[in-house]
């Protein structure tokens, strides 16, 4: 059976690929298991050198990979080039820091013992990845895990099979052994069988909270470690002393990056009464000024939604919100042109429990809420089942940090949009999942944190025996 990738801007077929058969899937898992035995014993310095080479491969082929992303899921070409560079950055980061992050830790115990904590790889890890950042979200998993000595099995989204194959090829070109990173072109119905396979030791997913619950249930039944990076409905809090020029400019970027299809995009703009009217007026004007068009054009700010059905779902959420009493300030209708294009859209006066209040809107739709003061802003920011990122805008940095500490989120930014960075941990709370990616925290998610106690006086009695 073949899998086709379709250009969402034109409806044309980009390419077709043969689906991985059950027999091939088993062969890939066998190979990954065999490679792990070798790879886990490879000195970490050698693994780091190969990661550095992967960064070079990415940069050498940046235009090719960027065009592939634009064709398969509609990402504006400039943002796609930036994504390739970010993937190279995360490879560089772990090429430089992995050994430091995983070095043995000496722990205090008794005078006559040497006690250390060692961080050892655990085996093949399955990564279930989405289409919206088709390179970055794979590399932020792959770079730390390959550096740690694990091997990766990728189940990528079905609409970006070309990206999946290209990523596999990056590691092959960089010199990684066969089986260190393998793409499985399989359907969602086969994920459970891979997780349940005894040779697969852990699983990570970036996706919807529904998919995360299903994966976590299967992994939990097998007593396997899982990391869930799920959806978000991030608040963007504007206080009365916010630097308005910078705030509005960043608000537009934070809502529309990646055609609005980002889990950490600002989606709920919570604005205090004193500056609400000014913010809405300026925000609507700036949203309206964005260029919607061909993602292959460098002048385009917003390309198509990744699939027609996704655009239809988004529009249904907007329509239902308006029917319940929400006000449409801008946009709100699919564009009259070929392709899955939805315009920048702004909703205000959204009633409680409307879709734009309670659900994640995965597209270029912003919801603006009016609140009386800072306390109400914090309350509204936290009034969501999600808890991925949040930001607050104020001239008073001490105030901003105080507010940031009150957000129920895994990420909190003051006077900056929410973003992922290899140097700091990334992840959420509540229905946004659990576990962390990136930084020292991310590379230690899928390792055996092993206590090694070396008693130097065999005759000494221990204080306590469990």
Q: Rounded CA gap, 403 and 401, in Å?
A: 5
Do 210 and 347 share a structural domain? no
Neighbours of 461 (CB within 10 A): 6
Do 238 and 218 share a structural domain? no
Do 256 and 137 share a structural domain? no
Give the total number of structural domains in the chain. Answer: 2
Q: Rounded CA gap, 399 and 276, in Å?
A: 19
Angle between helical axes of 244-256 and 273-288 (0-180°, round to 10): 50
Q: Is the pLDDT of residue 461 over 60?
A: no
What is the DSSP pairing of strand 386-387 with strand 124-128?
Answer: unpaired
Do 9 and 22 share a structural domain? yes
Among 368, 388, 414, the domain-final residue is 414
Do 410 and 292 share a structural domain? yes
**CA distances (Å), origin 345, targets 297, 362, 418:** 22, 12, 20
Give the chain's mean pLDDT.
Answer: 97
**Tell me, what's the pLDDT at 1?**
74
Domain annotation covers residue 424: no
Do 111 and 32 share a structural domain? yes
For 3, how many CA atoms within 13 A lie in the half-sphere containing its CB?
22
Domain annotation covers residue 458: no
pLDDT tens by residue, 281-318: 999 999 999 999 999 999 999 999 999 999 999 999 99
Domain annotation covers residue 466: no
Name residue 413's beta-bridge partners: 391
pLDDT tens by residue, 402-416: 999 999 999 999 999
**Tell me, what's the pLDDT at 2?**
87
Domain annotation covers residue 425: no
Query: What average pLDDT does the segment 60-70 reach?
Result: 98
Going by pLDDT thresholds of 50, 70 and 90, the confidence category of residue 253 is: very high
3-class DSSP state of 250? helix
What burial class does residue 220 get, using C-beta atoms within 10 Å of its C-beta: 0-12 exposed, 13-18 middle, 19+ buried?
exposed
pLDDT tens by residue, 184-243: 999 999 999 999 999 999 999 999 999 999 999 999 999 999 999 999 999 999 999 999
Radius of gyration of the CA atoms of the chain, in A: 23
Domain annotation covers residue 350: yes
| Host domain of residue 179 | 2-230+432-452
Question: Which positions are annotated as active-site residues?
Answer: 229, 263
**Tell me, what's the pLDDT at 164?**
98
Q: Rounded CA gap, 168 and 32, in Å?
A: 13
Query: What average pLDDT does the segment 93-119 reach?
Result: 96
The pLDDT > 70 percentage for the chain reads 98
Q: Is the pLDDT of residue 463 over 90?
A: no
Do 386 and 267 share a structural domain? yes
Angle at Cα 312 formed by Cα 306 and Cα 313, nearest 5°? 90
Q: Which of 168, 220, 228, 222 is nearest to 204 (CA)?
A: 228
Going by pLDDT thresholds of 50, 70 and 90, the confidence category of residue 460 is: low
Angle between helical axes of 62-73 and 44-60 (0-180°, round to 10): 70
What burial class does residue 132 get, using C-beta atoms within 10 Å of its C-beta: 0-12 exposed, 13-18 middle, 19+ buried?
buried
Domain annotation covers residue 277: yes
pLDDT tens by residue, 11-43: 999 999 999 999 999 999 999 999 999 999 999
Q: Which of 53, 28, 32, 51 is nearest to 101 (CA)?
A: 51
CATH number of residue 134's parent domain = 3.40.605.10
Do 441 and 361 share a structural domain? no
Q: Rounded CA gap, 113 and 107, in Å?
A: 10
Neighbours of 37 (CB within 10 A): 10
Q: Is the pLDDT of residue 457 over 90?
A: no
Do 346 and 288 share a structural domain? yes
Do 286 and 251 share a structural domain? yes
pLDDT tens by residue, 429-452: 999 999 999 999 999 999 999 999
Domain annotation covers residue 348: yes
Query: What average pLDDT does the segment 77-92 reach?
Result: 98
Going along 122-251, which residue ranges are E strands?
A: 124-128, 151-155, 181-183, 202-206, 225-229, 234-238
Tokens at residue 59, please? 């940069």
């Amino acid at each position: 059976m073949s899998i086709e990738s379709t250009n969402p801007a034109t409806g044309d077929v980009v390419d077709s690929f043969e689906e991985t058969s059950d027999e091939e899937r088993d062969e890939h898992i066998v190979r990954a298991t065999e490679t792990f035995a070798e790879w886990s014993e490879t000195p970490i310095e050698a693994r780091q050198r190969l990661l550095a080479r992967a960064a070079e491969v990415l940069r050498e082929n940046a235009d090719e990979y960027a065009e592939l992303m634009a064709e398969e899921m509609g990402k504006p070409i400039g943002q796609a080039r930036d994504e390739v560079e970010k993937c190279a950055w995360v490879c560089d980061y772990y090429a430089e820091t992995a050994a430091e992050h995983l070095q043995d830790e000496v722990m205090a115990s008794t005078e006559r013992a040497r006690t250390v904590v060692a961080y050892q790889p655990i085996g093949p890890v399955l990564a279930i990845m989405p289409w919206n950042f088709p390179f970055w979200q794979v590399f932020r998993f792959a770079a730390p895990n390959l550096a740690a000595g694990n091997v990766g099995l990728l189940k990528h989204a079905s609409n970006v099979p070309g990206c999946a194959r290209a990523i596999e090829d990056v590691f092959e070109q960089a010199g990684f052994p066969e089986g260190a990173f393998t793409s499985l072109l399989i359907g969602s119905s086969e994920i459970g069988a891979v997780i349940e396979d005894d040779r697969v030791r852990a699983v990570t997913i970036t996706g919807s909270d529904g998919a995360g619950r299903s994966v976590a249930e299967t992994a939990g039944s097998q007593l396997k470690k899982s990391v869930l990076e799920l959806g978000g409905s991030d608040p963007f809090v504007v206080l009365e002393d916010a630097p308005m020029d910078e705030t509005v400019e960043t608000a537009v970027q934070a809502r529309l990056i990646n055609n609005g299809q980002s889990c950490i995009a600002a989606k709920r703009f919570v604005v205090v009464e004193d500056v609400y009217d000014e913010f809405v007026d300026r925000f609507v004007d700036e949203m309206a000024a964005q260029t919607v068009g061909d993602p292959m054009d460098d002048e385009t700010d917003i390309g198509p939604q990744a699939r027609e059905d996704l655009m239809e779902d988004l529009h249904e959420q907007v329509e239902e919100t308006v029917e319940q009493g929400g006000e449409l300030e801008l946009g709100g209708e699919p564009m009259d042109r070929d392709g899955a294009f939805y315009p920048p859209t702004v909703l205000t006066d959204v009633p409680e429990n409307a879709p734009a209040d309670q659900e994640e809107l995965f597209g270029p739709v912003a919801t603006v809420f009016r609140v009386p003061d800072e306390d109400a802003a914090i309350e509204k920011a936290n009034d969501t089942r999600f808890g991925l990122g949040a930001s607050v805008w104020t001239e008073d940095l001490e105030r901003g940090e105080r507010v940031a500490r009150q957000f129920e989120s895994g990420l909190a930014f003051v006077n900056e949009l929410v973003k992922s960075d290899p140097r700091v941990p990334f992840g959420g709370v509540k229905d946004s999942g659990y576990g962390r990616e990136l930084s020292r925290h991310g590379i230690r998610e899928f390792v055996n944190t092993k206590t090694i106690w070396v008693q130097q006086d065999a005759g000494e009695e221990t204080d306590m025996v469990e």
